[in-house]
A and B are shown apart, each in its own frame.
Chain A
Amino acid sequence: MRERDWQAFFKNYVVIEVEGNNREEFLNAALHQGLIFWDIIQGPGPKFRAKIPVASFARLRPVARKTRCHVRLLDKRGPIFWWQRVRTRKTFLAGAIFFLLALLFLSNFVWAVDVLPRGELKKVDPNLLKAIAAEVGLRAGAWKGNLDVRALEHEILIRVPELAWVGVSFQGTRACIEVVEKLFPSPEEGGSTPAHIVAAKNGIISEILVLAGQPRVKAGDTVRQGDILISGLILPLQQEKPPGQEGQPEPPILPRLVRARGIVRARVWYEAEGQFPREEIKETLTGQHSTSLILRAPDREYVLKGSPEPPYTSFRREDKVIRLPAWRSFTFPVELIIVTYFETSVERRWLSREEAINRAKEEALLALRQGLPDRAKVLGERITGITEEPGLVRVKVLLEVEEDIGQIINLKEPPSQAGN
């Protein structure tokens, strides 16, 4: 029913000024004709200003004449009149159109090429990748319409054999090349250079499985760190000479060199120390909480709501920072912080000796377990020593573990010397 202000923005209307002594009569006569007015303001003197639709302006003339009022056109507003004004300024219009077209045209080019590695690049140089991309056609200044993303990805992948996957995408005028490198097996595992398997730790061999090489230890043996477990140097077996051929010169059999492979599991022991205070401090939430709103500017803070100091003697604090999104390198300097204080009640408890020892043991074992290699099997754990200090318990723990202690060491000596 009412004319909204924002609707007037899209309408074509004229602002008129009506002067005369029979203005009310003029209004009534116009209303009788079915005309409508809006924003009528009494001006100084015997006149008022009003807005009317463009089409009804002509219909006002007879009404004005009949009521002996004088109607003056003050302003024409609305899209049509705006367009009429703009049309007369040809150069300005041409400039605006040119700007839009230029923007559209230039946004069809690639302006920058970026390499976004997924994970660390070890073998491929990003600059080299850029050079290759440029060779294939993906370079700054290239017309986006001419680039076939799938073909580019394929081409780059073929040219750089170290890559496992390439993804090309556009973010506006920026081209992003995402790459994933192939993971090559490390030379320790593969390769064919002769190698020993030696003990990485002291322990007692529980199980040995030889895939290549000559075993030097057997289950039950105690080994020290650095002892050869499986040798890559295969010595010829001492063959018993058949009777009657003794004394005959034997064809010398040279030892063979191989890369030792196998699994040597051994029992190893780890020692660790853990401590735990006898007095346990336990914090529990009481359910009470209060919130403060703080506005932080670069040089000071303003508390908008709540107290600036925590209202509880013991509490836990949680901050939620709200900032406006950063644009490029500009970050908005003001941020809003919602601080919530949760009241806690502190409870102190004196642990019994057994409890404290148990906790200290758990503490020690936790640190140990995190350092264990994969596929290690825990065989047992034992407390070897307990020292008590006032308010504190120290515990020494021994952990028995079965794990693969084999470590591959490449043979350095040249094969020719090995024969001697």
Chain B
Amino acid sequence: MPKRQRKVWETAEAVKAKDHMASFLDLPQEAVCDWPRLTLIGDTRLLLENHRGVVIYESELLRVNVTLGQLEIRGKDLKLKVLRSDVIAVEGSIKSIRFLGSTY
């Protein structure tokens, strides 16, 4: 994949400012900052909105690009129930969810 060009409004300062504004105006941060939104149901279902592409997909490891960096999901028998350009729904037994190195 080609390296994404960092825009002015994606610099660390800009994101911080947007974060502040979102809290101040009581707006949903995932919409203002383009952050991922994760909905975890038990340890079997994970709904991930606002993703930026799959990096690694194996049955025990799933790594997904998101605005803040990468999201690593480890588990067993991971299955992508739905895969769309904006949404990933993961099913399986999820052991851990971890953020890897912010790109900022």
CA distance A39 to B77 in the complex (A): 12
Q: How far is the CB of B66 from chain A (nearest CB, A)?
A: 13
Per the CB 8 Å criterion, the residue count for chain A at the interface is 20
List chain A residues, Cβ under 8 A from B85. Answer: 31-32, 34, 36
Pairwise interchain contact A39-B79, C-beta atoms closer than 8 A: yes
Given A24-B57, A25-B1, A48-B57, A31:B84 Cβ within 8 A: yes
- Which residue of B is nearest A5, CB measured? B81
List chain A residues, Cβ under 8 A from B84. Answer: 31, 36-37
- B14 contacts A by Cβ under 8 Å: no
Per the CB 8 Å criterion, the residue count for chain B at the interface is 19
Pairwise interchain contact A28-B79, C-beta atoms closer than 8 A: no
Chain B contact surface mostly: strand
CA distance A36 to B84 in the complex (A): 5
List chain B residues, Cβ under 8 A from A27. Answer: 53-54, 57, 83
Pairwise interchain contact A2-B81, C-beta atoms closer than 8 A: yes
Pairwise interchain contact B79-A2, C-beta atoms closer than 8 A: no
Pairwise interchain contact A3-B83, C-beta atoms closer than 8 A: no
CA distance A179 to B38 in the complex (A): 72
CA distance A32 to B59 in the complex (A): 23
Pairwise interchain contact B80-A37, C-beta atoms closer than 8 A: yes
List chain A residues, Cβ under 8 A from B1. Answer: 25, 28
With a 10 A CB-CB cut-off, give which of B79, B81, B83 has the most chain A CB atoms: B83
List chain A residues, Cβ under 8 A from B81. Answer: 2-3, 38-39
Give chain B interface residues in 51-87, CB to chain A under 8 Å: 53-59, 78-85, 87
Q: How far is the CB of B95 from chain A (nearest CB, A)?
A: 16
CA distance A27 to B47 in the complex (A): 18
- B interface residues, Cβ below 8 angstroms from A: 1, 47, 53-59, 78-85, 87, 89
Known: A24-B53, A24-B55, A42-B79. 19 other contacts (CB 8 A): A1-B47, A2-B47, A2-B81, A24-B56, A25-B1, A28-B54, A31-B53, A31-B84, A34-B85, A36-B82, A36-B83, A37-B80, A37-B83, A38-B81, A39-B80, A40-B57, A40-B83, A42-B58, A42-B59
- In order of increasing CB-CB distance, the 3 nearest A-B pairs are A40-B80, A42-B59, A37-B83
